[in-house]
Amino acid sequence: MSIIIKGQNQLMRKEFLNGARDTFPLLLGAFPFGLIYGTLAVSSGLSVKAALAMSAIVFAGSSQFIAVGLVAAGAPVSIIIVTTFVVNLRHMLYSAALLPELKHFRQLWKIILAFFLTDETFAVAAGRYRKDDDSPFKHIYQLGSSIVMYLNWQFWCAAGLILGSRIPDASAWGLDVAMIVTFIGMTVPYIKTKPMVMAVLTSAVVSLATTQLPYKLGLIVAAAVGIAAGMTVEKLQSVNREFKREKL
């Protein structure tokens, strides 16, 4: 019995470390946003404790940026909550994609993994879940990725708060290009089929066409339309294959 437990612990440790390792290349993308968030939080009037608490509890770069701007503008709390909720609706898509892999876990595990879920961790974890092996601890891999991303974000936000008053107009430095490059690097390896290509191209076109929608709703619209386009192509391919089989 002890040998089995020891073997399970070793496998869990391996999954955790692999998740952390595979996430390291994506950490650079959080550097400019965490740093700029810290500087903006200082200038918006938030206290250091409030800014740190927001990073620790909210843990969502885009929402934190918007919340800081709304705080500086004196917006009501209800407006801040609703706006940040809408901006983060994309996480519902991530959760829906991961649900088949996590639905059999206890509610506590779902809550923990949901809190730590980010764009980068989703990309890394989705790749791990797709691998055809019988490991029962793939969720530990996701946890390893999540913890590394969380600590990295807290570090750079704190650095921005400390250095905020010493960095002149950091938001104009163009550091946000690191996040764009990171997202491209996360997405490209998964574009391997025609439905995926159609989904990406369609969502890209729609996102450009809906940039003027408030509260970043264009991202949600683009994601929904892209998914529909990809599913349509996949359905057409399936019908075409069935038609060819019937002819044979």
pLDDT at 237: 87
DSSP for 53-68 reads HHHHHT--HHHHHHHH
| Phi-psi group of 76: left, alpha or beta (phi > 0 → left; psi -120 to 50 → alpha; rest → beta) | beta
- Taken in order 165, 168, 169, 175, the sign of the CA dihedral is negative
**pTM (two decimals):** 0.73
Tokens 């809550």, located at residue = 111
Residues found in the chain: 248
For 3-22, write each residue's pLDDT tens digit: 656 667 888 999 999 999 99
pLDDT at 148: 95
Residue 229 has pLDDT above 70, yes or no: yes
The residue with greater pLDDT, 147 or 43, is 147
Q: Which of 224, 241, 217, 55 is nearest to 150 (CA)?
A: 55
pLDDT at 27: 85
d(CA 138, CA 96): 17
The residues near 195 (Cβ < 8 Å, ≥ 6 apart) are 230, 231, 233, 234, 237
Flag the least confident range among 139-143, 169-173, 182-186, 192-196: 169-173
3-state secondary structure of 30: helix
Per-residue confidence at 139, pLDDT binned at 50, 70, 90? very high
CB-hemisphere CA count at 13 Å for 96? 8
Q: Which of 195, 192, 190, 191 is nearest to 237 (CA)?
A: 195
Residue 93 has pLDDT above 80, yes or no: no
For 152-179, write each residue's pLDDT tens digit: 999 988 888 887 656 666 555 555 565 5
